Amino acid sequence: MKKATVIIPTYNEKGNIEKLVEILENDIFPQIKNYEMTILVVDDNSPDGTADVVKNLMKKWKNIRLNSGEKEGLGAAYVRGMDYAIEEMGADVFFEMDADLSHDPKKIPEFLEKIDEGFDVVIGARYIKGGSIPKNWGIHRKLFSIFGNLIVRVVLMRFWHHDWTTGYRAIRKEVFVKLKPGLHEFKGYTFQVSFLHKAIADGFKVCEVPFHFIDRTLGKSKIAPREYIFDLLKYVFTARAIELVHSPFLKYAITGFIGFLINAVTLEIFAGILGWHPAIAAAASAELSIIWNFTVNNFWTFGHHKITNPWKVLVKFPQFNLVSFGSLLIISTVVWLGTHFFGNTTLVRQASLIFAIVFFVIPYSYSMYNIFIWKRWHISFLSKLQEKAG
């Protein structure tokens, strides 16, 4: 039988841990037939004597273990606990769960069903239908939680996961084993966000199950808001920057910028120095820039998807020209509208040009390249559709 361990980190939870263990042992575990359920309390030598309470509970139930260590923060406690659960307890799946009864234990069977359906990580979510944060939380705590989640979703551009900071989760051990080398950095509450983000980035399947978060009645929250906010912002911004640098986007932008310079310089050479007709000079310089963009994007930006078969190039290059023609239409329309409404001055022309490029040409051409020319997105869209279909 597969084994599941409920990992409960504790720091001064003497008044809560016994109640939670009683509920798990008496009411929840007997309902679960297809997992051998165990409890691991990860205590950081709580001065209130939480460990003594746990040792007493261990006399009554044989499926409880205690792991004691130095206090280094919530994330560090979880990493230690997950290691212990795998190595010492043979866990296949583990739960993250607060000791203070904030996480409704009745949801555990539902989490396990999702794991059995094939999900790698199940997130207990407060910000979806059927979930909530406590009404009696102070306004600061509410704003802190709501905006914290919003910032994470916006900066990481991952909108389809709604609760990033929550500490109620079920995780297949393979996820932890794979992510562990990158987890040491955030030892505090930011661990939750970084863990979920890395799991998604690594392609693990994640789903959400709603739950109502109940405010603790005994003891105090250990969150230090300033440190948490600082850590969280640091994580999301650095992680996003790294993602951008590693995605083809930056290479695409550099290539496009040089392409633009090629266009401008050769236009001057053809029309100014060689005395060609301006229309012909413009067309020739634009085509040179298109050839540059196609070649460099093919071998560098989208190098993983590069087109090398000459016959295919013969098909793709005209397509690429067609996409570029779209950019040209966008620019001429925007510049025309800009000068029409704001006057035909250098400022308006240049501002319209930049506006057109930043807001329309870049999103347009980058998506067209990814979807139609190098088919980098098309493939993942298709496989997602296929997954859904069957």
CA distance 389 to 197: 26
- Pick one of Mn ion, ligand GDD, none as the site partner of residue 223 (Cβ within 5 to 8 A by kind): ligand GDD
323 neighbors 368 (Cβ within 8 angstroms) = yes
In the block, tokens 């009411």 appear at: 27
User: In the complex with Mn ion, which residue's Cβ is closer, 100 or 208?
Assistant: 100
Q: Is 324 in the site for Mn ion (CB under 5 A)?
A: no
Q: Which of 163, 160, 169, 126 is nearest to 148 (CA)?
A: 163
When binding is defined by CB under 5 A, the residue of 67, 102, 165, 194 that contacts Mn ion is: 102
35 neighbors 2 (Cβ within 8 angstroms) = yes
23 neighbors 105 (Cβ within 8 angstroms) = yes
Q: Is 208 in the site for ligand GDD (CB under 6 A)?
A: no
Q: Is 11 in the site for ligand GDD (CB under 6 A)?
A: yes
Catalogue the E-assigned strands of 132-277.
169-172, 206-210
User: In the complex with Mn ion, which residue's Cβ is closer, 33 or 135?
Assistant: 135
Q: Tell me the closest approach of the beta carbon of residue 148 to Mn ion, in angstroms.
A: 15
CA distance 263 to 284: 9
Q: Of the listed pieces 61-69, 150-158, 210-218, 378-386, which binds Mn ion according to CB under 5 A?
A: 210-218
49 neighbors 15 (Cβ within 8 angstroms) = no
- CB-count burial class (<10 Å; 0-12, 13-18, 19+) for 63: middle
Q: Is 43 in the site for Mn ion (CB under 5 A)?
A: no
- CB-count burial class (<10 Å; 0-12, 13-18, 19+) for 25: middle
When binding is defined by CB under 6 A, the residue of 15, 105, 167, 326 that contacts ligand GDD is: 167
- Pick one of Mn ion, ligand GDD, none as the site partner of residue 41 (Cβ within 5 to 8 A by kind): none
143 neighbors 78 (Cβ within 8 angstroms) = no
115 neighbors 196 (Cβ within 8 angstroms) = no
The residue at minimum Cβ distance from Mn ion is 100
- Pick one of Mn ion, ligand GDD, none as the site partner of residue 10 (Cβ within 5 to 8 A by kind): ligand GDD
Distance of CA 295 to the CA centre of its chain: 32
Q: Is 120 in the site for ligand GDD (CB under 6 A)?
A: no
- Pick one of Mn ion, ligand GDD, none as the site partner of residue 239 (Cβ within 5 to 8 A by kind): none
Q: Is 100 in the site for Mn ion (CB under 5 A)?
A: yes
Tokens in use for 237?
């911004």
The residue at minimum Cβ distance from ligand GDD is 167
User: In the complex with Mn ion, which residue's Cβ is closer, 168 or 195?
Assistant: 168
- x-marked contacts with ligand GDD along 50-79 as a string, rule CB under 6 A: ---------------------x-xx--x--
Q: Tell me the closest approach of the beta carbon of residue 101 to Mn ion, in angstroms.
A: 9
Q: Tell me the closest approach of the beta carbon of residue 102 to Mn ion, in angstroms.
A: 5
Residues in a beta bridge with 32: none
How long is the chain? 390
Kindly list the residues in this chain that would bind ligand GDD in the complex (CB under 6 A): 9-11, 13, 42-44, 71, 73-74, 77, 98-100, 102, 145, 165-167, 189, 192, 216, 221-223
Kindly list the residues in this chain that would bind Mn ion in the complex (CB under 5 A): 98, 100, 102, 216
